[in-house]
Structure 1
Amino acid sequence: MKGRKNRSGMENEKITETAVKIKVCGIVQGVGFRPLVYRSAKKMGIKGWVRNVGGDVEIMAQAPKTAVDQFVWELKENREQRYEILNMKVEEHPVSIMDEFVIVPSGQADEVSMIPVDLPVCPECLRELSDHSDRRFGNPFISCMSCGPRYTIIEAMPYDRVNTAMKEFPMCTACQMEYTSPYSRRFHAQTISCNDCGPYLLYQDNRNPERDELSDREALKKAIMVLAAGGIVAVKGIGGYHLSCSPFLEQTVDRLRRLKGREEKPFAVMFHTVSDIRKFCDVSPEEETLLKSKSRPIVLLHMREDSMAPSANKGSNCCGAFLPYTPLQYLLTAQLGPLIMTSANVSGQPVIREDDSMLSCRDNNLNGVLYNQRKILRSVDDSVTKIVAGRPQLIRRSRGYVPYPVILKETVSSADIFAAGGDLKAAFCLSRGERAVVSQYFGDLEACSVMEEYKKSYRDLCRLLHITPGLAVCDLHPNYHSSSFARSLSLPVISVQHHQAHIASVMAEHGLNGPVIGVAFDGTGYGTDGSIWGGEFLICEGKEFVRAAHLRPFPILGGDGSMRDGKKTAVCYLHHTGLEKYFPEDRCRVITAALDHRINTVLTSSMGRLFDAAASVLQIAHENRYEGECAILLEKEAELVRRLHITPPSLPFLITEKKEVLELDPYPFFETAVRCKDREKRRALALSFHYAAAEGIAGICERLRSRYHTSDVALSGGVFQNTLLTQQTITLLKEKDFRVYINRLVPPGDGGLSLGQTYLGREYLKTGDI
């Protein structure tokens, strides 16, 4: 009788069991998701398996329906916030005989949806790092399932140890036990290592090249001693080498500038804690959150106390501050305090990631190299961000963000797309379906070595993502290297206008179809009329756009080559408006003669060049020794005035109309500025310029709203990296009941172009106009 009841109970349980196959898409590889699924399944008595497939995770779960439903609900709930589910597909399957829940070997997939990004060292590993009783005490490569390098060491997907650079380091017995124990933090942690199984630190002394290399703790001790004494050490990181030194020693920082060939651009500084940053910079709650985020970007902060060497920050009122993201960086900053950590490359060249390239450097300014033998498979620079209007804005999208995709609103399945981007701040995009993967930042493609890195990365990312592009999209500029590469791929090619792509990048991020009033301000972009655009108001809808307004054009000399010489640009503008007599410049006669005879002249509506002219007229800066320097220094002066609560003169730009196209004319500002001789009044005029530009944008948008019946405004282009202008523009537009959108997931500068090109390529595919 009793036995019959047991058999009946077992039969009822089998009848009530259900089986489901779950496919989880998102950030679910390299973040400890499979071990978490395993433990959750064991806790709930679920039988089945979990495995990596491509960039996704597949789960087979069998148990009574209430247990399965609870299991799925807890996965979606994601209480520990270790992973990110973008899509979860649950399908019923026939019940089968299963004894337990296991992690099974990874499967292969035709499509890879996600590749994990590099993650900063986690709090648990940091605790072990400083615990004298822990077997990983002081280990500069400590990691677990929640932290460590990912993208930069992956050879192929799925993310398993045999597919990473860690395969060259066999696990010791203790690590192997942790790796195979379901209840260890390092269960299936692909980067697991310890002091007994490597990698190990090595130090090459460039001052004594014949001396044997130091290893392990002696290598670290030597590097700390050299840095403390004012030396410069190349330190191997996750995505490449850094050049590191104290930011407080002027002679040392000056040597670093000679080593990098970088004359003026400020250096980023790594601090041990946020409390250390606060000794020098203002840090808002939003900025602290960004500093501590998993991406660990460089965050541009307002400098409150500048006791660093003058050459470190070069007079900027912002500091590019960031926190350590590798155990080695924690060990260094714990001993030494703030350190300059700048990419180890000559300015304009790719980041150095190969050990041989770094070790062969014999520049007298470099004291030594602190490295290891774990390979970096792809160069990834540090990302740069700041807070704009209360939320993060990317300036450079790289480590910590790449290769996470931007999820687009609609799925287009007819072809994979390669979008080439631009030539400055180059980054390409590969897309399939709803996912658009924007590559890491490369730099200027004018340098042959950067162009080669760009090409190699294109092939590499196509292989990793299993993408075979069927369409290429590139910039309209006839001489862009990125466009030439796109045309070399033997694919159908669509060329799109530069500023339309800027606005399309915002539309892609926010799922906008249009019509949208797009305000695209930057330095240069090839216009459909053959002139240089850069101060554009476009009405964008789908793949179409109308140039509805722009900055009043003026002729400049030298075309794209004029970007460096702000003073020459100022003379060009002033001559066009009849104000050059008020501006002393030795070359004035030569420049105006060339303009009058139309020798090497081109019309431009560039707001970027107008910022250069304003900075020069106000005697703030005359030359862009690095990209955007004049505009950056103009913003610095304006921000100083704003913080003093000084009300600047109101000098609104004029709005005129020519052939039904509106023009924004800054003449009233320049008429006053060129006559101003007082230094303090000129500083106030720097703020006037920003306010006038913002008011002009709002004024034109109001007129365009009445014509095109839309209140959606998208702001993009490199000029909108100017925080003061962007925030003032957003404020004014919102006061007038506009809905304002800016780039958040990609930079507003040319680093975001490829996302906009992808959006436009998809629009062409949808309409069949190829």
Structure 2
Amino acid sequence: MDVRVGVRVEGVVQGVGFRPFVHGLATGLGLSGLVGNDAGGVFIEVEGAPEEIGRFLDGLRARPPRLAVVERVTTRELAAAGRAGFAIVGSDGSGERRALVSADSATCGDCLRELHDPRDRRYGYPFINCTGCGPRFTIVTGVPYDRPNTTMAGFAMCGPCAAEYEDPADRRFHAQPVCCPSCGPALTLHPPADDPLSTARALLADGAVLAVKGLGGYHLAARAASESAVAALRSRKHREDKPFAVMVPDLAAARELCVLDDAEEALLRGARRPIVLLGRRPHAALAAAVAPGNRSVGLMLPYTPLHHLLVTEPVVLTSGNAADEPIAHRDEDALERLDGIADAFLMHDRPIHVRTDDSVVRSFRGRALPVRRSRGYAPEPLPIAPGRPVLACGAELKSTFCLTRGGRAFVSHHIGDLENHETLRAFEDGIEHFRRLFDIAPELVAHDPHPEYLSTKYALELDLPAVAVQHHHAHIASCLADNGVDGPVIGVAFDGTGLGTDGTLWGGEFLVADLRGFRRAGHLAPVPLPGGAAAVREPWRMAAAYGVPGDLPVARRPEWDAVTALAAAGAPLAPFTSSMGRLFDAVAAVLRVRDRVSYEGQAAIELEQRADPAERAAYRAAITTAEVFTVAGADLVGEVVDDLRAGTAVPVIAARFHNGVAALTVEAAARVRDATGLGTVALSGGVFQNMFLLERAVSGLREAGFEVLTHHRVPPNDGGISLGQAAVATARCASEGRSEGQPSSRSPSTSR
């Protein structure tokens, strides 16, 4: 006897070919019924033999389309209707909005074959796409995900495109960005040219700097092998040293420039198409100015049809902005802001609704370790404990925000450093867009306690109960949420700075933490930060703070005595910090690797590049026996100085220092385990983007019997802070029933 079942599918199931997939699955099993989109996801009614309906439900979960993410399938019994056939019905925009929007996806193999097929009507068309690929998040203006709610609304489909769009058997069925040369967006070049694409390719080959409108904003492109072209781009963009990313036409070109393993290749060619940080070959054909002082380079493969047509050799492809500005994504703004940087502009008339930078990842032990989570990843949600809707505002650097609802955490695309009005406006606009898109009305706002962060000021201006989450607790909570763990754990948070509960600047922390709260078990011994922010820009000041002798080369500068005196004076001119990032700065300065920086973390990055991976010896740092212990970072600096005076090579010293930090991490974690019985360590904070340190710390901890948690879905840097804040606010509210989210008084959740 036939039965009829109502089915609801939730997750990333709109704009990914899910309805035609359901249609094909149902008709293949001889079932009748219907499928459609609504504001909550996909609704289905299916009628037939019970065993065939069982196979249908199994297929929904096990074999969804390439870009779909099935989170939940629920069923209910319906009265049998006896109707024949299976129909795809129109979308229902009413009801509570819970549908998810998929991330932008790289051009699929089917579209690439058409792109290069002279017999295809879309041959050479730079906006080819289908239900399995193309723009999604960057063009969506509302839900449900239908063409009127995208920036393709202004492009009326021609007859052939409309026929594909309406045919359930076609892979472009209800592909909202579907178009062709007759009805879709078109390329233009500024200054004008008869053939924009060919002219743009010729400009790049001749050494010009080209502005290119991509999926989430404008890029600046230059021929990567040309010293003069890359130097011109660097000079005009006011980007002194920070490495540029490089787009290569294919995997063969990537292999010529870098050494790749299977996991790195998979990241490069996956649908997300991030920038992947890779070890460059010694004689790679890249201009020295691409990544000065760096043994690594960020590579990416083409991810739009335009890139496939434009990039025939390696090109630098960097965000279309001047230093410290958000990426330009509107045409008029790009023409104004990038004038004087770009020699020409390759543009198109499909509007970008949400500016989205490229994502950046590394591979660590076969898994992705995000450095910047943006295009290709956002706005796909991460799981979080159910609770009241939360807006988490993140920190200041590498800003993201996070909105939660119904067990989902929507971590935003990368916003940038919240240090100017333009970036703050992008932050505010992004929050409003996410609130509308996912129909979230937050009932709590979580924020960093630092009173001068623009994200904190924004949070406190909202008419919502506020939850302050200490910066390093948020780091550890982010790692816990990333791994689906509640804690308690031993949290190791190493970064540049964050306001501590005692009013000093923390950054080398050993915590006992769960999602509700934390206590400080130990930390790097505090040292002065002479000149405050000036010491961040000038790492030689940290060498002075660590008491480096005045006869070393780093001290041969007229300001040395004054800065040494400033360090001795203490606050407010030299506030105390336990920052691990500043310890790396001090060692980099002593070794003359870098005494001034032009971007965050530069000294530590270049110190890592100099470290000899074959060196296994480690410096030692004393750890006190106090209840809240301190680790003597000055001991490491002292051994660096001793080896330097003994004539030891800088790469060996750099490696011994890294090994020493890994060793103190293991020793301190063992100290906490002895006191608490905890056997799991969570590693977070920007310092753990250092692969040399991370590998040796994880190895040492596992050898000592610890389970180790690292990041794989959000960055360990401040880009993951908003997820940690949201997880803490949710846990506190759930455990105590107070909207203010006060920490529990029970260990380990006491904030000290």
TM-score, normalised via structure 1 length: 0.93
Counterpart of 1:49 in structure 2 is: 34
CA contact (8 A) 1:246 1:339 kept: yes
* Counterpart amino acid of residue 449 in structure 1: E
Is 1:358 aligned to 2:337, yes or no? no
Relative distance call for 1:750 and 1:224 in structure 2 (3 A) is: same
Larger displacement relative to structure 2 (583-592 or 310-319): 583-592
Is 1:167 aligned to 2:138, yes or no? no
Is 1:376 aligned to 2:347, yes or no? no
User: For residues 395 and 432 of structure 2, what CA distance do their matches in structure 1 show?
Assistant: 18
User: For residues 678 and 281 of structure 1, what CA distance do their matches in structure 2 show?
Assistant: 35
Alignment partner for residue 190 of structure 1, among 152, 176, 182? Answer: 176
CA contact (8 A) 1:648 1:685 kept: no
Counterpart of 2:277 in structure 1 is: 300
Q: Percent identity?
A: 39
CA contact (8 A) 1:37 1:50 kept: yes
Q: Deviations over 1:537-562 (max 9, x none)?
A: 00013412110010011112233442
Counterpart of 1:208 in structure 2 is: none
User: For residues 80 and 403 of structure 1, what CA distance do their matches in structure 2 show?
Assistant: 18
Counterpart of 2:448 in structure 1 is: 475
CA contact (8 A) 1:654 1:667 kept: no
TM-superposed CA distance for 1:398, in Å, is: 0.2
User: For residues 79 and 489 of structure 1, what CA distance do their matches in structure 2 show?
Assistant: 41
CA contact (8 A) 1:45 1:63 kept: yes
Counterpart of 1:674 in structure 2 is: 641
Paired residue secondary structure (1:59) = strand
User: For residues 750 and 585 of structure 1, what CA distance do their matches in structure 2 show?
Assistant: 35
Counterpart of 1:411 in structure 2 is: 386
Q: Deviations over 1:367-386 (max 9, x none)?
A: 21111111000100000000
Counterpart of 2:556 in structure 1 is: 585
CA contact (8 A) 1:204 1:359 kept: no
Larger displacement relative to structure 2 (737-746 or 73-82): 73-82
Counterpart of 2:106 in structure 1 is: 120
TM-superposed CA distance for 1:422, in Å, is: 0.3
User: For residues 512 and 170 of structure 1, what CA distance do their matches in structure 2 show?
Assistant: 48
* Counterpart amino acid of residue 121 in structure 1: T
Alignment partner for residue 223 of structure 1, among 175, 178, 200? Answer: 200
Question: What does residue range 203-602 of structure 1 map to in structure 2 within 5 Å?
Answer: 203-205=189-191, 213-214=192-193, 218-304=195-281, 305-333=283-311, 336-361=312-337, 363-408=339-384, 410-412=385-387, 415-574=388-547, 579-582=549-552, 583-586=554-557, 587-598=559-570, 600-602=573-575
* Counterpart amino acid of residue 181 in structure 1: D
TM-superposed CA distance for 1:286, in Å, is: 0.4
Alignment partner for residue 611 of structure 1, among 584, 609, 616? Answer: 584
CA contact (8 A) 2:445 2:466 kept: yes
User: For residues 582 and 250 of structure 2, what CA distance do their matches in structure 1 show?
Assistant: 39
User: For residues 611 and 689 of structure 1, what CA distance do their matches in structure 2 show?
Assistant: 9
Paired residue secondary structure (2:45) = strand
CA contact (8 A) 1:673 1:682 kept: no
Counterpart of 1:177 in structure 2 is: 163
User: For residues 80 and 377 of structure 1, what CA distance do their matches in structure 2 show?
Assistant: 25
Q: Deviations over 1:243-281 (max 9, x none)?
A: 111011111111111222211111000011111101010
Is 1:765 aligned to 2:733, yes or no? yes
User: For residues 51 and 338 of structure 2, what CA distance do their matches in structure 1 show?
Assistant: 67
TM-superposed CA distance for 1:338, in Å, is: 0.9
TM-superposed CA distance for 1:67, in Å, is: 2.0
Larger displacement relative to structure 2 (473-482 or 661-670): 661-670
Counterpart of 2:144 in structure 1 is: 158
Relative distance call for 1:280 and 1:469 in structure 2 (3 A) is: same
Q: How many residues align?
A: 732
Alignment partner for residue 628 of structure 2, among 661, 676, 686? Answer: 661
CA contact (8 A) 2:322 2:338 kept: no
CA contact (8 A) 2:530 2:545 kept: yes
CA contact (8 A) 1:556 1:573 kept: no
CA contact (8 A) 1:41 1:101 kept: yes
CA contact (8 A) 1:21 1:59 kept: yes
Paired residue secondary structure (1:476) = coil
* Counterpart amino acid of residue 320 in structure 2: A
* Counterpart amino acid of residue 637 in structure 2: F
User: For residues 252 and 143 of structure 1, what CA distance do their matches in structure 2 show?
Assistant: 32
CA contact (8 A) 1:33 1:82 kept: no
CA contact (8 A) 2:617 2:659 kept: no
TM-superposed CA distance for 1:446, in Å, is: 0.9
Q: Deviations over 1:634-656 (max 9, x none)?
A: 00011xx21xx3x3543212111
User: For residues 527 and 362 of structure 1, what CA distance do their matches in structure 2 show?
Assistant: 40
Q: Deviations over 1:320-361 (max 9, x none)?
A: 00000000100112xx31111111011211110001112335
User: For residues 383 and 656 of structure 1, what CA distance do their matches in structure 2 show?
Assistant: 41
User: For residues 602 and 525 of structure 1, what CA distance do their matches in structure 2 show?
Assistant: 12
Q: Any unmatched runs of 5+ in structure 2?
A: 741-752
Paired residue secondary structure (1:157) = coil
Larger displacement relative to structure 2 (610-619 or 253-262): 253-262
User: For residues 80 and 730 of structure 2, what CA distance do their matches in structure 1 show?
Assistant: 42
Relative distance call for 1:704 and 1:580 in structure 2 (3 A) is: farther
Q: Any unmatched runs of 5+ in structure 1?
A: 1-15, 206-212
User: For residues 340 and 499 of structure 2, what CA distance do their matches in structure 1 show?
Assistant: 43
CA contact (8 A) 2:659 2:696 kept: yes
Paired residue secondary structure (1:411) = coil
Counterpart of 1:85 in structure 2 is: 70
CA contact (8 A) 2:531 2:566 kept: no
User: For residues 367 and 733 of structure 1, what CA distance do their matches in structure 2 show?
Assistant: 52
User: For residues 191 and 49 of structure 1, what CA distance do their matches in structure 2 show?
Assistant: 24
Counterpart of 2:744 in structure 1 is: none
Is 1:21 aligned to 2:1, yes or no? no
CA contact (8 A) 1:522 1:606 kept: yes
Relative distance call for 1:81 and 1:364 in structure 2 (3 A) is: closer
Relative distance call for 1:34 and 1:654 in structure 2 (3 A) is: same
Q: Deviations over 1:551-584 (max 9, x none)?
A: 0111122334421110011111126xxx445452
Rg (Cα) greater in structure: 1
TM-superposed CA distance for 1:24, in Å, is: 0.8
Paired residue secondary structure (1:654) = coil
Alignment partner for residue 689 of structure 1, among 657, 660, 670? Answer: 657
User: For residues 220 and 680 of structure 1, what CA distance do their matches in structure 2 show?
Assistant: 54
CA contact (8 A) 2:211 2:220 kept: yes
Larger displacement relative to structure 2 (172-181 or 592-601): 592-601
Relative distance call for 1:362 and 1:51 in structure 2 (3 A) is: closer
Larger displacement relative to structure 2 (680-689 or 231-240): 680-689
TM-superposed CA distance for 1:73, in Å, is: 1.4
* Counterpart amino acid of residue 78 in structure 1: R
TM-score, normalised via structure 2 length: 0.95
Paired residue secondary structure (2:258) = coil
User: For residues 146 and 200 of structure 1, what CA distance do their matches in structure 2 show?
Assistant: 22
Q: Deviations over 1:14-65 (max 9, x none)?
A: xx11111111112211211111111222222222111112251111111122
Relative distance call for 1:130 and 1:707 in structure 2 (3 A) is: same
Is 1:109 aligned to 2:95, yes or no? yes
Counterpart of 1:202 in structure 2 is: 188
